Structure 1
Amino acid sequence: MANIDLSTFDKILVLDFGSQYNQLITRRIRDLGVYSELKSHKLSAKEIKEMNPKGIIFSGGPNSVYADGAFKVDPDIFKLGIPILGICYGMQIMAYTLNGGVEKAENSEYGHADIEITADDATLFKGLPEKQPVWMSHGDLVTKVPEGFESVATSKDCPISAMQDLDRKFYGIQFHAEVRNTKYGNDILKHFAFDVCNAEANWSMNDFIDLQINHIREVVGDKKVLLGLSGGVDSSVVGVLCTRQLVTN
C-alpha cells in the first residue's frame, strides 16, 4: 500500500458557519474527485494560506449577520487571491464583510424557488438554463452588492440571488447548490471547482482509506487495540479500518 500525502491533492476548504448541510458540501466536492475539508469559520487568513487550498466555500448558517454572536470571517481572507464561493449565509457574510448591503428579508424563504440568470457572463451558470429551480433557506438577503460585484441572478422574493466579482473570483449564491432540490446545483459546484479554482480531479475515497490505514499502522505499530463499538457510524468505520490493518491485534 502506497503512502498517501494529502498535500499532493488539490483541495477546496469549506468553512463552517453552522449550516446543517456542511458535510453535504464537502461530500459534493469530493464526489467531483476534488479533496475537500470542513474547517471552522474561525480560521485566520494566515492559517488558510498555509493550507494552500485551490478554493474556499463559505457554508450557510442559521443566523443573521447582525445577530449577537454571529459567525464572522477574517477579512484578510479576501486578500489571499484565492477563489471564494459563499452559499446562503456565506454570501451574506461575504457581502457584509466587503461593505455591501444585507437586510432582513420582507418574506423569509424556505423551500423551492425559481431563479432567472440575468448576466451573459455568469460563470457559475455557464451552459445552464436561463430559468432554473433552486432551494432557498434564508431570513436575510443581500440588498446591495459590494464594490466590484454584479448581480447575476434574481428571483421573485430575492432580487440578488447570485453575485460575482470576476476579477477577484468571488461568487455568492443565496440558495443551496449542495442539495438535490437545486436542479443544477452539481453543475454550479463543478463550475466553481474546475472553471474558477482550476482544481484537478485527482482524489478518490480509496486514497482517503489508504491514508487512514497508514495512519493506524503508524500510531499502533505492533501493539494491540481494544475497540468499543457503539453501533454508530463513526465507531463502525473505525472498526472496519482497524480490522483491515490489525487483523491479529
Structure 2
Amino acid sequence: MQEKILILDFGSQYTQLIARRVRELNVYCEIHPYNHFPQPDESVRGVILSGSPYSVRDAQAPQADLSAIKGRLPMLGVCYGAQYLSQQFGGEVRPSATREYGRAILSKVVANNPLIAGLSDRTQVWMSHGDTIVKIPENYRIIASTDTVPVAAFQIEGEQTWGIQFHPEVYHSTEGKQLLKHFVVDICGCRQQWTPDSFIESTVRELRDKIKGDKVLLGLSGGVDSSVAAELLHKAVGDQLVCIFVDMGLLRKDEFESVLKSYESMGLNVIGVRAGDKFLADLAGVTDPEKKRKIIGRDFIEVFDAEAQKLTDVKWLAQGTIYPDVIESISVNGPSATIKSHHNVGGLPEKMNLKIVEPLRLLFKDEVRRVGRQLNVPADILGRHPFPGPGLGIRILGEVTAEKVRILQEADKIFIDGLKESGLYDQVWQAGVMLLPVQSVGVMGDERTYENCVALRAVTSTDGMTADWVHLPYDFLAKVSNDIINRVKGINRVVYDISSKPPATIEWE
C-alpha cells in the first residue's frame, strides 16, 4: 500500500508548493479541500493543514472537523493551520500590530524538539500573515519564536501535533525543507520510496488491471503530458493503444511531420490526420477569441470522432490530465468558473460512450518530465515549451486565414530556432509570436510598405499560474527582429511583450 501524507487545503496560494516540497522528499502526498477530505486509512502517515487567505476570526473562516486526525496521526499546522489549532482549542488569535510579511529569524526555545532539532539556532524563515497567536491553550508548548512573534512554533503536549506560524515550503525559509523532512520522515515515518521508477511500476500494473484486453484511444498533441501518457500506456498495454494526432492547420511550421516522426521512433501506433482545410474554412470571418476556441474544439471532436469510428473494440479514452487540473476541479471554492474548453477533449467520452483513463492525474508537471525521462521519451518532446490547444489560432488576433498562418509560422520558426541556437530555449518556460491586427508604415529599400506587426513573447514560470517576462539579450532580440523583417514577406515591424502575469496573460487571446 502506498504510504502518503494528506494536505488539507484551506485555500492558500502556497498549498501546491507544500505538496511539491513533500514529493521532492520522495514521499507521496495528496491535496484535499478542508471540507471534502477523506477518512484517513492505514496508508495515511500524517496530515498537514495549509495556510489560508482568511483570518480565523472571520465569520466565514474555513472550519474543519479534525476529530478523526488530531491526537491519532501526526499533524502539522502551517500559518492559518497553526492559528486554527490554537483558536479552536482554547487559544486566542488577534490582528498583528503590523502585517508580518517577509523574512524573519527563528530562534529555538526547545532545542531538542523533533520538529526543529538540527536546524540552525537562528534560521531564516518566511512570514506571511496579518494575525498572530497571542495566547495558546494550556497543554500547548512554545518551541520557537522570532523577535516579533513569540508563538512562532508550538507542540501540543502528549500529541504529535505541531503548529508553525511561518511557511517552510517557500524558498526564503532556508531550512524549510529540512523541517518538512523532520515531520514527514522522522515523525511520520515515511520511507521515501515514491520515485519515478516506483510510480511507473505501480501505474503500469494498475493500467493493465483496469484496461485488460480492451483498446485505448489517445489524442496526441506533441506536448509533454500526452506524450508521457502515451508511453506509459504503451508500456502497459502495447498495441492496444491507438493514438490520433490531428493537424488542425494551426501547428508550428513542419511540426506535424517532425512530431509524427518522433512518435514513430517511440514505437507508438499513431494515426496522423491532416484536417487544416476544414478548420480554416470554419474559422473564416470569425474574430471573437472565445468563438474561435469553440470552433476549434468542436472541429477537433468531429475529426477525432470520425477517425475513431473506423476502429473497433475501443472502450477507453486516455487523457493527459495532470494533478493541478485535478486540484482545480475540486478546489476549496468549487470548480473554476471558466475552464477553457480546449484543455481536454471535452464531450468526447459521452459522444463515443467511452470510459476515461488518466495515467498522469497524480503528477505535477515537473514530475511528468521525470517520469518521461525514466521512460526514455525523446528529450526534444520532454523539453518542449507548452503550446496552446487551439494552436496558432489564438496567436493570430482577429480572423484566421491561410496567409496569416503562413506568416506566423515563418516568424515563429525564426524566433524558436533562434532561442535554441543561442542556448536560451531551456531558460524560457514558454515562447511564441503573436500576429497583431495592426499594420504600420515601413520603408524597405526605396519603397514604402504597409505591412503587419508581430509581438514576441517569452516568459518564465513554474506552472503557468503566474509568469514573468524574460530579459532576453538586446543583441538576440535585434537579430531576431532583423531576420523576421528581412525573411518573412508581410511583416515590417517587431515588438517585444514585457508584460507579466498577472495582470496580463501569457497568450494574447
TM category (shorter chain) comes to 0.7 to 0.9
Label 1:52 to 1:216 Cα distance change in 2 as closer, same or farther (>3 A). closer
Of the three residues 81, 84, 96, the one matched with 1:105 is 96
Of the three residues 12, 18, 22, the one matched with 1:25 is 18
Cα distance in 1 between the residues matched to 2:61 and 2:187: 29
Label 1:218 to 1:87 Cα distance change in 2 as closer, same or farther (>3 A). same
User: Sequence identity, in percent?
Assistant: 39
Who is 2:150 aligned against? 159
Label 1:79 to 1:88 Cα distance change in 2 as closer, same or farther (>3 A). closer
Who is 2:342 aligned against? none
Label 1:237 to 1:144 Cα distance change in 2 as closer, same or farther (>3 A). farther
Gaps of 5+ in 1: 1-6
CA shift for structure 1 position 58: 0.7
Label 1:243 to 1:43 Cα distance change in 2 as closer, same or farther (>3 A). same
TM-score of the aligned structures, taking structure 1 as reference length: 0.84
CA shift for structure 1 position 124: 1.4
CA contact (8 A) 1:75 1:97 kept: no
Of the three residues 2, 14, 29, the one matched with 2:7 is 14
CA shift for structure 1 position 195: 2.7
Q: In structure 1, what residue type is equivalent to 2:219?
A: G
Cα distance in 2 between the residues matched to 1:231 and 1:159: 53
- For 2:148, what is the secondary structure of its paired residue? coil
Cα distance in 2 between the residues matched to 1:229 and 1:206: 24
CA contact (8 A) 2:35 2:64 kept: yes
CA contact (8 A) 1:43 1:74 kept: no
Indicate the larger mover: 166-175 or 19-28: 19-28
Who is 1:173 aligned against? 164
Cα distance in 1 between the residues matched to 2:195 and 2:208: 21
Who is 2:119 aligned against? 128
Q: In structure 1, what residue type is equivalent to 2:155?
A: Q
CA shift for structure 1 position 180: 1.9
Label 1:232 to 1:67 Cα distance change in 2 as closer, same or farther (>3 A). farther
Of the three residues 39, 46, 58, the one matched with 1:67 is 58
Cα distance in 1 between the residues matched to 2:70 and 2:147: 34
Q: Is 1:92 the counterpart of 2:76 in the alignment? A: no
- For 1:123, what is the secondary structure of its paired residue? coil
Note the aligned Cα RMSD (angstroms).
2.4
Q: In structure 1, what residue type is equivalent to 2:128?
A: S
Who is 1:116 aligned against? 107
Describe the superposition over 1:15-50 as per-residue Cα deviations: whole angstroms up to 9, x where unpaired: 111122222222222222333222221256x812x3
CA contact (8 A) 1:142 1:160 kept: yes
Q: In structure 2, what residue type is equivalent to 1:29?
A: V
Cα distance in 2 between the residues matched to 1:156 and 1:180: 21
- For 1:194, what is the secondary structure of its paired residue? helix
Label 1:125 to 1:144 Cα distance change in 2 as closer, same or farther (>3 A). same
Label 1:23 to 1:236 Cα distance change in 2 as closer, same or farther (>3 A). farther
Cα distance in 2 between the residues matched to 1:232 and 1:140: 44
Indicate the larger mover: 133-142 or 234-243: 234-243
Q: Is 1:214 the counterpart of 2:205 in the alignment? A: yes
Label 1:71 to 1:229 Cα distance change in 2 as closer, same or farther (>3 A). farther
TM-score of the aligned structures, taking structure 2 as reference length: 0.44
CA contact (8 A) 1:117 1:154 kept: yes
Q: In structure 1, what residue type is equivalent to 2:5?
A: I
CA contact (8 A) 1:92 1:141 kept: yes
Indicate the larger mover: 205-214 or 182-191: 205-214
CA shift for structure 1 position 157: 3.1
Cα distance in 2 between the residues matched to 1:134 and 1:28: 15
Q: In structure 2, what residue type is equivalent to 1:198?
A: G
Q: In structure 2, what residue type is equivalent to 1:115?
A: L
Greater C-alpha radius of gyration:
2
CA contact (8 A) 1:118 1:154 kept: yes
Who is 1:4 aligned against? none
CA contact (8 A) 1:32 1:201 kept: yes
CA shift for structure 1 position 214: 2.6
Cα distance in 1 between the residues matched to 2:19 and 2:171: 14
Label 1:237 to 1:107 Cα distance change in 2 as closer, same or farther (>3 A). farther
CA shift for structure 1 position 148: 1.1
Cα distance in 2 between the residues matched to 1:19 and 1:205: 28
Who is 2:181 aligned against? 190
Cα distance in 1 between the residues matched to 2:221 and 2:71: 43
Cα distance in 2 between the residues matched to 1:101 and 1:150: 14
State the number of aligned residues. 240
Q: In structure 2, what residue type is equivalent to 1:90?
A: G
Cα distance in 2 between the residues matched to 1:240 and 1:17: 36
Q: In structure 1, what residue type is equivalent to 2:39?
A: E
1:27-66 aligned within 5 A: 27-43=20-36, 47-48=39-40, 50-66=41-57
